[in-house]
Amino acid sequence: MSISWDTIIQDMGNLLVSEQDTYADIEAAYNWLRQTYGTKDERIILYGQSVGSGPSLELASRLPRLRALVLHSPFLSGLRVMYPVKHSFPFDIYKNIDKIHLVECPVLVIHGTDDDVVNISHGKHLWGLCKEKYEPLWLKGRGHSDIEMSPEYLPHLRKFISAIEKLPVPKFRRQSLANDHKNDKSTKSSWIGSRHSIECVPPRDKSRKISIDHRFGKPRNSVGSSDRARNSFDRLGEMVRSVRLCNVDCVKNAVAEV
């Protein structure tokens, strides 16, 4: 898909990396755009698929002037993929549920109804916690790695990008959603909620206690855990490669091989 936004693709292939490594990778890509091309935050869209939703959301939570965030088959947290826990634990990874409220930009959530790796309830829960909700895309009959094959996928993504292109700079987002598009029915109907953007979000505090590093693909054996839970996390772990900025790439191999 050809768009007018600065684009960079970051593909980690089959490498097994830690949570902190993925944060460092996406920050490096972001800094490269800023330093090499002088790209401003309001010209950047973060796109995170599956495991990539973790580092994408982490970075988005610290960029109040970011243009938009797309979460493709996201999850609430690593532990919640395996177990229906209601609270966050220090050893959990990619705690998206605890960061989504810090994201100030419009958020598009895409998820398949038949996803047996990350249940669609994860995507719906995250969407419900967004400050700036855009019309979500729940794809009936789609799983974790075939969403891109749906005829509804690209048109909805284009519609989202077209809508955010019409918005003024992020700090005036509330006014734009309330007034600037009142005559644009197709755009207005897609925006679910809006609020004022804050002026700044402090950078990630590297001294704070963060989830311990965990090597994907080597989950611990837990007494009483179901085979389905283990299999889901094994398959999810192989998709670490899906971190990118404003890219519509596909990750198909992990589920196809299972």
Out of 56, 72, 92, 115, pick the active-site residue. Answer: 115
How wide is the angle at C-alpha 167 spanned by C-alphas 166 and 173, nearest 5°?
165
Do 91 and 237 form a contact (C-beta atoms < 8 A)? no
CB burial of residue 231 (10 Å; 0-12, 13-18, 19+) = middle
144 labelled catalytic: yes
Q: How far apart are CA 221 and CA 235, in angstroms?
A: 15
Phi, psi of 89 (to 5 degrees): -115, 150
Residues contacting 36, CB < 8 A, separation 6+: none
50 labelled catalytic: yes
Q: Identify the bridge partners of residue 133 per DSSP, sorted by sequence position.
A: 107
Out of 72, 111, 122, 144, pick the active-site residue. Answer: 144
115 labelled catalytic: yes
Out of 25, 50, 146, 214, pick the active-site residue. Answer: 50
Token pair in block for residue 172: 């005036």
Which are the catalytic amino acids?
Answer: 50, 115, 144
